[in-house]
Structure 1
Amino acid sequence: METDEQAKDRQRLERYIDREALTSVMSNTKWEKLRALMIEESARRPAWRVRCLRDTREVEPQWDGDWHYHLPEFKHIEWLEIFPIQKERKGYLLPDKVTDYFVGLLKSNSIPFSIEGESLRIWGYLRPCQAVEFV
């Protein structure tokens, strides 16, 4: 059962999505699949950061690693980034071994994402005229 405050928040979010003409990219089913995949990958400790729709922060969000409790409700996520690179130190003279485990995992589960620098960005919503090249 939805409380009055939850109903007001849902309505505010719906109005914001309509006003900004946002296009939904991910469903709750795909978000749950992503979350389950990342929990299964807990040995690799995939770090993530999220930007919510009505965030007013000017700075980049902080990285987190807790896929169990820290994620916001999926309907609020504009994008979520995963830092997919795991570095293994080989020594002073050799370069670190760099491994990316997550591109194939996301592709094989049909989760749409783009590559943003060293991060994989899973989009919850796209803004009008936003050009995103999905992998």
Structure 2
Amino acid sequence: MARYIAREGLVSVMNQTKWEKLQALMQQESYRRPPWRAYCLRDAEDLEPEWDYDWHYHLPPFKSIVWLEINPIQKERRGQLLPDKLTDNTDYLTDLLKTHHIPFSIEGQSLRVWGYLKPGQAVSLI
């Protein structure tokens, strides 16, 4: 993996401690349960990652994560006849990530935590 990172010229913007902090923070969010999806080193670029709710056991090895997206929109099922209740937790999760100095950007409706960047990659980290 280290040779791949060097060959591709990737720059790490997260470390093990920050990944563990992010995981612990999201595990504490049992009420909000934000889903996540990750794109890892050597994943096929045309493959769309699946959303997952399990912050305990399903995360890939931190060293392999290029980015991890968090969906801040919480859906609460209210039955067959009523539409799902949607709650936007963007401001709350953004503040949480900023407070703990976790580098992220806003990509559409998702919060994208970056593990690696390519040199010259234009990303507005918050």
Q: Runs of 5+ in structure 1 lacking a partner?
A: 1-12
* Structure 1, 96-105 or 15-24: larger mean CA deviation: 96-105
Matched letter for residue 116 of structure 1: E
Matched letter for residue 56 of structure 2: H
- Write 1 or 2 for the structure with the bigger share of helix: 1
Q: 2:14 aligns with which of 14, 26, 43?
A: 26
Contact 2:74-2:86 at 8 Å conserved across structures: no
Q: Runs of 5+ in structure 2 lacking a partner?
A: none
Contact 1:87-1:98 at 8 Å conserved across structures: no
Q: How does 1:38-53 map to 2 (within 5 A)?
A: 38-53=26-41
Secondary structure of 1:122's aligned partner? strand
Is 2:93 the counterpart of 1:102?
Answer: yes
Q: 1:116 aligns with which of 89, 104, 107?
A: 107
Q: How does 1:1-135 map to 2 (within 5 A)?
A: 13-86=1-74, 98-100=88-90, 101-135=92-126
Secondary structure of 1:43's aligned partner? coil
The structure with the largest alpha-carbon Rg is: 1
Secondary structure of 1:104's aligned partner? helix
What's the RMSD between the two structures over aligned residues?
2.0
Query: What TM-score does the superposition give when structure 1 sets the normalisation length?
Result: 0.81
Give deviations 1:17-64, integer Å, cap 9, x for gaps. 010010000010000000000000021111000000110151310100
Q: How many residue pairs get matched?
A: 120
Query: What TM-score does the superposition give when structure 2 sets the normalisation length?
Result: 0.87
Question: Structure 1 runs of 4+ off > 2 angstroms?
Answer: 85-89, 95-101
Identity of aligned residues (%): 63
Q: Structure 1 residues 99 and 76, CA, compared in 2 at 3 Å: closer, same or farther?
A: closer
